[in-house]
Amino acid sequence: MQDWLIQLVTVHPYIVYGIIVITACAEGPILSMIGGVLIKLGYFSFWPLYLALMVGDLIGDVIWYYIGRYFGHGFIRRFGKYFDITEESVVKVTNIFHKYKHRILLISKMTNGFGFALVTLMVAGMVKIPFWRYITINIIGQFVWTGLLLSVGYFFGNLYVTVDSILGKISVVAVFILIFAAFLQYKKYLKKKTENMI
């Protein structure tokens, strides 16, 4: 399978990286952690995958910014429940924006939004932060965030390659899954904690 995937990336790189960009629009963090493992296992080269993941995530940021800027409250009333976005959360994040200005964008990007990622991106558009300032801050945060997640995946990929026994490899995969699940739970915890603080 490894030879098949490497050949696919080599022969049809635009298709493969195009799919990665599209997928990263919705699931950038998850894909980045998996991507780190795949880099170590030899399926992908570091920089092309890093850039594809960043571009995909940033395209998602741009989409949410413009949804907030041009559709705002109407979108939330109609579709917010499908994205876990409520008017209450928008009010809370708007208050944070007024208090911390543009720092909240950088913090949100580098912490995956404390569970408020989509709301933060939408509110940036709703309060009409200048687009080039918005995208510059997000690029800086995305560079760090994607690099961190790729590093985590790469670390586990390295463990997987280093371990010789089948049982050892299964253990590494199990630990990776547990840490990934803990990451998702931590996001939920941070969201609840942030909701209680603001």
So where are the chain's domains? 2-197
**Average pLDDT value over all residues in the chain:** 82
The pTM score is 0.81
Would the CA dihedral through 52, 56, 57, 58 be positive or negative?
positive
Number of H helices, E strands in the chain: 9, 0
In whole angstroms, give the CA distance from residue 155 to residue 178.
15
Q: Does residue 13 carry a pLDDT above 50?
A: yes
Helix 131-162 vs helix 166-197: crossing angle, to nearest 10: 150
User: Cα separations (Å) of 119 from 55, 83, 102, 179, 189?
Assistant: 20, 9, 15, 26, 17
Helix 131-162 vs helix 103-110: crossing angle, to nearest 10: 20
Half-sphere CA count of 82, side-chain side, radius 13 A? 5
The residue ranking higher by pLDDT, 99 or 63, is 63
Pair of tokens at residue 155: 């670390």
Q: Does residue 115 carry a pLDDT above 60?
A: no
Residue 67: pLDDT band by 50, 70, 90 thresholds?
very high
